[in-house]
A = this chain, B = another copy of it.
């Protein structure tokens, strides 16, 4: 890292900081500028306490050079990771589509959804059984009954099942029914949960927190990877900004950045990323064009009566049309949307 000294830092202060840098096991190079002195600290700066240098005497600021994550880094593993779960695959040129209702509401609703999204071309089914809701007065999900319905839908369709887990002690239960553990945006920095998911043998879909930087996002993934679970997908679902015509702001440049920095696949969620059903199809095709490794889309038999998130859910016809458009765009950018047929081969 680079320790930038104040303009009026004394030689003693510079010397003090050089010693502090060396105590951390780093090599210190002092560069006398025309206006300031800077100390380049060479070595693995991902050590504890490095941040504390900023409170050293005469220090103006400390600039990190290295990315703080390791296992998630593309420098460590240059080849892209493809996550495969049953018929679903994402990464390395293959675009996987996860679709289904926000919440599992009933057998009829989830079975109809499963068949519809499969027919339209999805290879994974989403559906919340444990629902994190902003208000304690909102529908909280069918819990284990919902998980059973998801497993039943998998049985009937062959789709992979993606569902959220909210707490470390629920990981085992959810893992019994699900193929992919989803960690929601609100829990992106719930470290106990990340650790528990990291110990599971299920793939993990980690959603970005709406105020998380991409470094923080990758460090959250690192918590999972670090426990030995390599099947991690990163899901961009929008960040919080001053915009109010969308519920969140969906920054597709995240894809290019993450592809440069990490080997993990990047999934885009245009439903939460916009919060309005009418925007979802355009943002879904845009995500495919921009290089996304997957899509996660909310689909409901009758959005108007959905128990949650109806305003951002597509109905079956809208989803089928969106998939058709996505396939054409994927073709135009030389990428493939994974399908049940190919998976079956």
Which residues of A come within 8 Å of B, CB atoms?
A: 2, 4, 7, 20, 29, 31-36, 38, 40, 42-44, 46-49, 51-57, 63, 65-66, 68-70, 75, 132-139, 166-170, 186-193, 209-211, 213-214, 216, 219, 222-223, 226, 239-246, 249-253, 255-257, 260, 273-274, 276-279, 282-283, 285-291, 303-311, 313, 325, 328-329, 331-333
Partner of A241, one of B46, B63, B242, B291: B242
19 further A-B pairs in the complex, CB-CB below 8 A; given A51-B309, A51-B311, A243-B251: A2-B40, A20-B304, A46-B135, A55-B277, A63-B63, A69-B135, A136-B191, A136-B223, A167-B193, A186-B188, A214-B245, A239-B243, A239-B249, A242-B242, A256-B274, A256-B283, A285-B333, A286-B287, A329-B333
A209, A245, A313 interface centre (most CB from chain B within 10 Å): A245
- Could you write out 5 A-B pairs with CB less than 8 Å apart? A2-B65, A7-B75, A136-B219, A252-B286, A253-B273
CB distance B65 to A4 under 8 Å? yes
A213: which B residues are within 8 A, CB to CB? 242-245
A328 to B334, CA, bound (A): 10
- Min CB gap A319→B, angstroms: 14
Contacts of A31 in B (CB 8 A): 29, 40, 42
Q: Are A219 and B304 in contact (CB under 8 A)?
A: no
Check B239–A241 contact: CB distance below 8 A.
yes
A246 touches B239 (CB 8 A): no
Nearest CB in chain B: distance from A195 CB, A: 8
How long is the Cα–Cα vector from A189 to B188 in the complex, in angstroms? Answer: 10
The answer to whether B242 touches A134 (Cβ under 8 A) is no
Q: By the criterion CB–CB under 8 Å, are A52 and B310 in contact? A: yes
- Pair A310/B54 contact, Cβ less than 8 Å: yes
| Bound CA span A137–B191, Å | 12
**Distance in angstroms between the alpha carbons of A326 and B63 in the assembled complex:** 33
Interface centre among A29, A187, A249, A250, by most B CB within 10 Å?
A249
A311 to B273, CA, bound (A): 28
Is the beta-carbon distance between B189 and A65 smaller than 8 angstroms? no
